[in-house]
Copies of this chain bind each other. A is one copy, B any other.
Amino acid sequence: MAGDRVELWRSLEEVIAAGAPGRLQALLESLPPSEVVLAVSRLTDADRARLVEMMAPEAAAGLMEGMPEPQAVDLMERLSPERSAAIIEHLPSDEQADLLGELERADADAILSEMSPEQARSARTLSRYPDDVAGGLMVKEYLTFPASATVAEVLDDLRTHAGRYSTYQVQYAYVTREGRLHGVLRLRDLFFQPRDRCIEGILKKDPLTVLDTANLDHLREIFEHNLFFGVPVVDRRGRLVGVVTRAAVETARADRSENDYLKTQGIVGGEELRSMPLLLRSRRRLAWLSVNVALNILAASVIAFYQDTLAAVIALAVFLPIISDMSGCSGNQAVAVSMRELSLGLVRPTEVLRTWLKELWVGVMNGLALGGLVASAAWLWKGDWMLGLVVGAAMAINTVIAVSIGGTVPLILRRMKMDPALASGPILTTVTDMCGFFLVLSLAAACMPWLAPG
Interface of A toward B, CB cutoff 8 Å: 1-2, 5, 32-34, 37-38, 41, 62, 65-66, 68, 92, 155, 158-159, 162, 167, 169-171, 187-188, 190-192, 217, 221-225, 227, 229, 245-247, 250-251, 253-254, 257-258, 260-262, 264-267, 271-275, 278-279, 281-282, 285-286, 288-290, 292-293, 296-297, 299-301, 303-304, 307, 310-311, 314-315, 317-322, 324-326, 329-330, 332-333, 335-337, 339-341, 343-348, 350-351, 355, 358-359, 361-362, 365-366, 369-370, 373-374, 377, 381, 429, 433, 437, 454
Contacts and interface: CB of A to CB of B under 8 A. Distances in A.
A133 to B, nearest CB: 17
Contacts of A170: 171, 188
Contacts of A260: 261
Contact of A358 (B227, B274, B362, B437): B274
Contact of A365 (B190, B227, B266, B282): B282
Contacts of A340: 258, 262, 267, 271-272
Contact of A224 (B33, B258, B321): B33
A297 B374 CA distance: 8
Nearest to A41: B346
Contacts of A275: 346
Given A247-B229, A278-B362, A345-B34, A321 B318 contact: no
Contacts of A192: 155, 159
A56 to B, nearest CB: 16
B66 A224 contact: yes
Contact of A274 (B41, B68, B247, B355): B355
A163 to B, nearest CB: 12
Q: Ordered nearest first, which 5 A-B pairs have the shortest CB separation?
A: A250-B250, A265-B336, A254-B254, A246-B247, A317-B317
Contact of A321 (B68, B169, B299): B299
A87 to B, nearest CB: 16
Contact of A33 (B41, B171, B225): B225
A33 to B, nearest CB: 5
A187 B190 contact: no
B325 A304 contact: no
A130 to B, nearest CB: 19
A304 B381 contact: yes
Contact of A286 (B66, B227, B347, B366): B366
Contacts of A159: 191-192
A366 to B, nearest CB: 5
B330 A289 contact: yes
Contact of A285 (B222, B350, B366): B366
A56 B65 CA distance: 45
Contacts of A362: 278, 281-282, 285
A171 B158 CA distance: 14
24 contacts: A65-B225, A187-B188, A247-B247, A250-B250, A258-B340, A265-B333, A267-B333, A267-B336, A272-B340, A274-B341, A274-B358, A274-B359, A279-B365, A281-B362, A282-B362, A286-B365, A288-B333, A289-B329, A293-B322, A297-B377, A303-B317, A303-B321, A310-B314, A321-B437
Contacts of A37: 221, 344-346
Contact of A261 (B155, B261, B344): B261
A106 to B, nearest CB: 29
B66 A293 contact: no
A1 B217 CA distance: 19
A336 to B, nearest CB: 4
Nearest to A301: B318
A369 B318 contact: no
B289 A370 contact: yes
Contact of A191 (B155, B315, B336): B155
A326 B224 contact: no
